[in-house]
């Protein structure tokens, strides 16, 4: 099969990989609605419950780059199947957990295999699609990311209304098994690899990057560990030095630093994505607290109140994927502007609307923000990865999503801290303050997107996968 003859199964393969990726991303948020039931029935301590939520995000973020690199080396089909099988088993382990620490261990494992699974999506899109089709494929991927983040509370509430909390995890098993069977049929096989795996894997780089990411994420979920931030700085500096030396020696690095310094648009796109997720992902926790604790909504009602964002994001992501080849970075700029505008209106109206109408009055501005969000995620992924060589697509996608996971963790912690600082008492004021932080963060991302737009206008057009500059 040549580049002129694309794989005829590519859209079927994409559907399967997106379904599996949706499960992995959904499990970041869907468990939130089940926490009271888990704490009551196991029973579980507050510390254990915290780790059920945060442990998944921690191990997910730790392995993204490594998972992407292994996909580049071993083949994305093989890594996808291995990670998907692990995710199904870990989900069953979570659902069957007899006590809180078994559940915590299962969630750590579930997050790790989900982190191995996720980079294969962007890598497979880079491999299977070219030209405008790639934008459409990333549009569907962006819709998957946006929907999975926003719809988790709705699905969690729906499951809890008819079944035990264990089915929040068990539901992954039949879907995962079906996806595994279909992936065996439709995912393209990689050429046979020659040489030893240990000669191609940068184990020192894995350790150093893991220490850096751990030093950033762990203090956000575990009190009293802020000293790890210093470890993160030292490990990050050592990682960059090590990777540069690895390239100079002619050995394969874990993450070629020239992706950031020599690949047009990659560094700025990664920064836009990380900062946007810092503001975007944190709003769901404060919305859940506002509606459930402040207004007495049920988990399902709380999830439905923010559904307009998910719907807007789903539709606009797919449409933006078709337009990105002609509109380019302008889509991101327009989208970020709409997100900031929609959240600003929400922050204002929750303070002047009667509490019983709060869920209704925020619907339209959340829809506007969601439409804007869909115009950010998928175009930004497409534009960030457009000049990345195909052999590095997995690790580049993993690094991009690592930034998004770190942004998610930081944003959730900051927005939750601001929200709780104004409680107990005035829930609308607390929500407005937290959304104010999200708006400022979104405006920072907008500034970076405008700067990248100017750079792209001045830069001559480059072909897809143009490669890494040796400068």
Summarize pLDDT for 9-51 with one digit per residue, the tens.
899 999 999 998 888 888 877 887 787 788 888 888 877 887 8
The total domain count for the chain is 2
Question: Which of 276, 17, 6 has its CA nearest to residue 138?
Answer: 17
Measured between alpha carbons, how far is 441 from 9 in angstroms, rounded to an integer? 40
CB 280 within 8 A of CB 373: yes
**Which residues span the domain enclosing 384?**
10-187+197-201+254-458
Question: Of 236, 253, 270, which marks where a domain is finished?
Answer: 253
336 and 278: one domain? yes
Alpha helices in 165-265 (DSSP H): 167-170, 172-186, 203-221, 228-248, 258-261
Measured between alpha carbons, how far is 297 from 413 in angstroms, rounded to an integer? 23
How many other C-beta atoms lie within 10 A of the C-beta of residue 443? 15
Measured between alpha carbons, how far is 218 from 37 in angstroms, rounded to an integer? 25
Cα distances (Å, whole numbers) of residue 310 to 149, 300, 372, 374, 380 = 8, 15, 11, 9, 18
| Residue range 287-312: mean pLDDT, rounded | 85
240 and 279: one domain? no
349 and 436: one domain? yes
| Residue range 417-436: mean pLDDT, rounded | 89
239 and 379: one domain? no
Residue 315 predicted with pLDDT over 90: no
What letter does residue 132 receive in the DSSP assignment? H
Alpha helices in 7-45 (DSSP H): 10-26, 35-41
Question: Which of 196, 195, 193, 201 has its CA nearest to residue 246?
Answer: 201
Residue 230 predicted with pLDDT over 80: yes
Q: Is residue 469 part of a domain?
A: no
Q: What is the mean pLDDT of the chain?
A: 87
CB 152 within 8 A of CB 30: yes
145 and 262: one domain? yes
Q: Is residue 124 part of a domain?
A: yes
Measured between alpha carbons, how far is 49 from 36 in angstroms, rounded to an integer? 9
228 and 344: one domain? no
237 and 282: one domain? no
- The alpha carbon of residue 54 and the mean position of all alpha carbons in its chain are separated, in whole angstroms, by 14
Measured between alpha carbons, how far is 173 from 176 in angstroms, rounded to an integer? 5
Measured between alpha carbons, how far is 324 from 307 in angstroms, rounded to an integer? 25
Q: Is residue 5 part of a domain?
A: no
Measured between alpha carbons, how far is 248 from 148 in angstroms, rounded to an integer? 41
176 and 235: one domain? no
CA atoms within 13 A on the CB side of 184: 7
Summarize pLDDT for 138-162 with one digit per residue, the tens.
878 877 876 776 677 778 878 888 8
The more confident residue out of 67 and 154 is: 67
Measured between alpha carbons, how far is 39 from 49 in angstroms, rounded to an integer? 7
219 and 337: one domain? no
Measured between alpha carbons, how far is 402 from 399 in angstroms, rounded to an integer? 5
The more confident residue out of 88 and 37 is: 88
Name the most confidently modeled range: 185-199, 241-255, 282-296: 241-255
Q: Is residue 382 part of a domain?
A: yes
Q: Is residue 438 part of a domain?
A: yes
Q: Residue 470 has what pLDDT?
A: 43
Summarize pLDDT for 321-373 with one digit per residue, the tens.
888 888 989 999 999 999 999 999 999 999 998 888 888 999 999 999 999 99
Cα distances (Å, whole numbers) of residue 169 to 112, 150, 152, 164, 176 = 15, 18, 12, 10, 11
159 and 245: one domain? no
309 and 212: one domain? no
Length of the chain: 471
CATH number of the domain encompassing residue 35:
1.20.1250.20
């Amino acid at each position: 099969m040549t580049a002129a003859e694309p794989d005829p199964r590519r859209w079927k393969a994409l559907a399967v990989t997106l379904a599996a990726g949706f499960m992995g991303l959904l499990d970041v948020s869907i468990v939130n609605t089940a926490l009271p039931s888990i704490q009551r029935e196991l029973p579980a301590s507050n510390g254990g419950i915290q780790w059920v939520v945060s442990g998944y995000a921690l191990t997910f973020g730790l392995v993204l780059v490594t998972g992407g690199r292994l996909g580049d080396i071993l083949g994305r089909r093989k890594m996808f199947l291995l990670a998907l099988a692990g995710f199904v088993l870990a989900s069953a382990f979570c659902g069957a957990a007899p006590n809180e620490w078994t559940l915590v261990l299962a969630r750590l494992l579930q997050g790790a295999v989900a982190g191995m699974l996720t980079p294969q999506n962007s890598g497979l899109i880079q491999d299977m699609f070219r030209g405008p089709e790639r934008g459409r494929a990333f549009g569907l991927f962006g819709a998957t990311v946006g929907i999975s983040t926003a719809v988790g509370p709705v699905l969690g509430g729906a499951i809890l209304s008819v079944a035990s909390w264990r089915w929040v995890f068990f539901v992954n098993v039949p879907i995962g098994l079906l996806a595994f069977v279909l992936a065996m049929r439709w995912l393209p096989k990689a050429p046979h690899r020659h040489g030893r795996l240990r000669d191609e894997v940068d184990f020192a780089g894995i350790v150093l990057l893991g220490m850096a990411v751990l030093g950033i994420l762990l203090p956000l979920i575990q009190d009293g560990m802020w000293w790890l931030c210093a470890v993160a700085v030292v490990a990050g500096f050592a990682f960059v030095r090590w990777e540069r030396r690895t390239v100079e020696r002619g050995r394969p690095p874990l993450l070629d630093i020239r992706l950031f310094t020599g690949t047009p648009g990659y560094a700025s796109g990664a920064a836009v994505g990380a900062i946007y997720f810092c503001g975007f992902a944190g709003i769901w926790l404060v919305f859940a607290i506002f509606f459930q604790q402040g207004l007495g909504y049920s988990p399902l009602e709380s999830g439905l109140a923010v559904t307009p964002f998910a719907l807007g994001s789903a539709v606009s992501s797919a449409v933006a994927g078709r337009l990105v080849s002609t509109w380019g970075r302008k889509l991101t700029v327009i989208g970020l502007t709409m997100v900031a505008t929609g959240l600003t209106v929400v922050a204002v109206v929750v303070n002047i609307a009667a509490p019983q109408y709060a869920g209704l009055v925020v619907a339209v501005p959340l829809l506007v923000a969601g439409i804007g969000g869909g115009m950010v995620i998928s175009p930004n992924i497409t534009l960030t990865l457009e000049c990345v060589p195909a052999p590095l697509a997995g690790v580049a996608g993993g690094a991009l999503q690592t930034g998004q996971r770190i942004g998610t963790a930081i944003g959730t912690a900051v927005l939750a801290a601001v929200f709780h600082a104004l409680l107990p008492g005035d829930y609308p004021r607390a929500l407005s303050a937290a959304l104010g932080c999200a708006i400022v963060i979104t405006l920072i991302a907008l500034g970076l997107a405008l700067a990248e737009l100017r750079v792209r206008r001045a830069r001559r057009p480059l072909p897809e996968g143009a490669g890494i500059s040796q400068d």
